[in-house]
Structure 1
Amino acid sequence: MKIALAQMKMDTDIEKNFQKSLQLIREAAEKKADLICFPEIQLSPFFPQFPDCDVSEYAMTEDSSYVKGIRNACRENHIFASPNFYIEEKGHRYDMSLLIDDQGEIIGRQKMVHVAQCKMFYEQSYYTPSEEGFMVFDTRLGKIGIVVCFDRHYPESIRTEALRGAELIIVPTANTKSEPSELFRWEVKVQAFQNSVNVAMCNRIGREGNMEFSGESIVVGFDGETIALADNQEELILAEVNLGGAAIRRNERPYTSLRRTDLYE
């Protein structure tokens, strides 16, 4: 399958980010991509860098015109998409990725599980942690999981989804230039190799407040090899990914099936 990563620069205006998202969906479809992935909270600036702000304007429900607009674009352009929004649900707000099929139907929802609280990432001030844990969605394209940003730093996240059959794991993120970019690349490469799973990590770019986002979105194969790597410019990254090969590799090199879970804490 062909995957597209929308490495975007965000505006403070939701509508501008939304229109850019729609354009990227159209562009990805024109380039024959099957699935397009977006960065973390793609319709807003990265407000969690501030410890206490009123961000009600960025919170939306699944019934919002923005979510419906992305769904309509998927249907009109015959493409799957995984957008990430600041979603309000039952009185709580979440950092949530959706998986939308090429008919515009929401076929998956993944909330952030581990929520950070440290300098520049005051996420517990805004996000409720997931109550459901990690999910894998069986789609026409293959079995797809999503690990939201900070969750990828916990090996249990990608491991859990791989054990549940994921062939591709999408990681929407907000990595900055002040963080160890090379280490972050190796982090997903090693986890892809150890779990025999494809990983696609999509980042934002540009300066927002006191943060400068690094881009460098990456697609890694189930063998840990880099398939595509972006620079720090706004761009649409395209890559061919072999989803079915992940299950074959797990049988050939049974790293996960040989685990001695009786000996682990």
Structure 2
Amino acid sequence: MREIKVAAAQLGPIQKAESREEVVSRMLALMEEAKTAGCNLIVYPELALTTFFPRWYHENRAEADEWFEAEMPNAATQPLFDKAKEYGMGLSFGYAELTEDGHHFNTSILVDPQGKIVGKYRKIHLPGHVEYEPERTHQHLEKRYFEPGDLGFPVWRTMGGIFGMAICNDRRWPETYREMGLQGVEMIVLGFNTPSVNNLRGAEALNQRLFHHKLSVQAGAYQNSTWVIAVAKAGSEDGNHLMAGTVIVNPDGEIVAETKTEGDEIIVHACDLDDTVFGKETVFDFKRHRRIEHYGRITAQTGVILPPED
């Protein structure tokens, strides 16, 4: 048995006026709950330090830089690293990253129980649009403020297992999980900030959006025989609602824990990384069963190419 007791630390809404220090205080309170529950890993959402700022349009793109972190850790986030090290707890959280050479990424990090950053992932599947579009119920300007990630889908050996990361919209793409599955991933941690309303399809109900979210995460877990820890930021941020749906999914694709609120809340589950072995050695034994000679189209093209008409 290789057990990791995980706390999926959902955050309620973060208002536009809320400071980094205020948010970190909330994150520390959840970490304390996780410590009391005996956890050795805590996972927070995408863009955990700020409101979901891509809903706000800045004509001058540089005005959005106030939401980005130029270093990590920094003065505001150092208490997270210090407390996690004190507790002997790994952690993962997302933030907006501004690199030294001026690049902007939607980023997550993985920190080991000694307080060292052992992994960094930059979101690859950016949703949304670049310019202001008045026909939308709300703006989703990730393509305006972020560049597609440039690190691929790496995994890391740490905490006695093989860990990977993904962010929000990445969870909807099977390639995300399979890239890490082909590296033997045993636990994927991912955060998301998902609006409760589709900004181009207002009739799409919240329960349908939650269904698609869970479907994607459960399929990715099952088809790659891996644990998936999917953590939301939820509730109404300055009048814009984000859905919850924080879940812990086992390697059989089953939800084993789920939040009940739209506020700050942890769910806890003892995840045995050895539970990934059976699926990896049977149905999803990639070495025996994959037929890559027939998969060329997956990397050779992006958009759909229709067959010729009769």
Q: CA RMSD in A?
A: 1.6
1:92 corresponds to which residue?
103
Say whether residues 1:75 and 2:85 are aligned partners.
Answer: yes
CA distance in 1, matches of 2:98, 2:31: 24
Say whether residues 1:56 and 2:65 are aligned partners.
Answer: yes
CA distance in 2, matches of 1:215, 1:203: 5
Structure 1 residue corresponding to 2:250, chosen from 212, 221, 245 = 221
Identity, % of aligned pairs?
26
Instruction: Deviation per CA, 1:199-245: give whole Å up to 9, x if none.
Output: 11000111124521111201110001111111233211111212122
| Uncovered stretches (5+) of structure 1, i.e. residues with no partner | none
CA distance in 2, matches of 1:200, 1:5: 7
CA distance in 2, matches of 1:88, 1:29: 31
Say whether residues 1:111 and 2:126 are aligned partners.
Answer: no
Name the stretch that deviates more: 139-148 or 229-238: 229-238
Say whether residues 1:5 and 2:8 are aligned partners.
Answer: yes
Tell me the amino acid that sits aligned with residue 146 of structure 2.
Y
1:24 corresponds to which residue?
30
CA distance in 2, matches of 1:66, 1:72: 12
Tell me the amino acid that sits aligned with residue 55 of structure 1.
A
Tell me the amino acid that sits aligned with residue 11 of structure 1.
Q
- Correspondences of 1:203-222 after superposition (within 5 Å): 203-222=232-251
Structure 2 residue corresponding to 1:139, chosen from 147, 154, 158 = 158
CA distance in 1, matches of 2:277, 2:76: 36
Determine if contact 1:83/1:97 at 8 Å carries over to the other structure. Answer: yes
Instruction: Deviation per CA, 1:146-200: give whole Å up to 9, x if none.
Output: 0111111211011101111110011100123225111211111112111111111
CA distance in 1, matches of 2:80, 2:168: 21
Q: How many aligned positions are there?
A: 265
Structure 1 residue corresponding to 2:148, chosen from 129, 144, 160 = 129
Name the stretch that deviates more: 183-192 or 208-217: 208-217
C-alpha deviation, 1:117, in angstroms: 2.4
Highest CA radius of gyration, 1 or 2?
A: 2
Determine if contact 1:194/1:255 at 8 Å carries over to the other structure. Answer: no
- Correspondences of 1:138-217 after superposition (within 5 Å): 138-178=157-197, 180-217=209-246
CA distance in 2, matches of 1:186, 1:81: 25
Determine if contact 1:148/1:171 at 8 Å carries over to the other structure. Answer: yes
Mark the CA change 1:183 to 1:255 in structure 2 (over 3 Å): closer, same or farther: farther
Q: Which aligned segments of 4 or more residues in structure 1 are displaced greater than 4 angstroms?
A: none
Determine if contact 1:29/1:78 at 8 Å carries over to the other structure. Answer: no
2:306 corresponds to which residue?
none
2:53 corresponds to which residue?
47
Determine if contact 2:46/2:191 at 8 Å carries over to the other structure. Answer: yes
Determine if contact 2:223/2:284 at 8 Å carries over to the other structure. Answer: no
Instruction: Deviation per CA, 1:58-94: give whole Å up to 9, x if none.
Output: 2111141133222112111110000111121121121
Determine if contact 2:7/2:269 at 8 Å carries over to the other structure. Answer: yes
TM-score (norm 1): 0.94
Tell me the amino acid that sits aligned with residue 109 of structure 1.
K
Determine if contact 1:221/1:242 at 8 Å carries over to the other structure. Answer: no
CA distance in 2, matches of 1:67, 1:109: 16
CA distance in 1, matches of 2:73, 2:223: 39
Say whether residues 1:263 and 2:272 are aligned partners.
Answer: no
Mark the CA change 1:63 to 1:31 in structure 2 (over 3 Å): closer, same or farther: closer
Name the stretch that deviates more: 202-211 or 97-106: 202-211
Determine if contact 1:25/1:77 at 8 Å carries over to the other structure. Answer: no
Name the stretch that deviates more: 43-52 or 65-74: 65-74
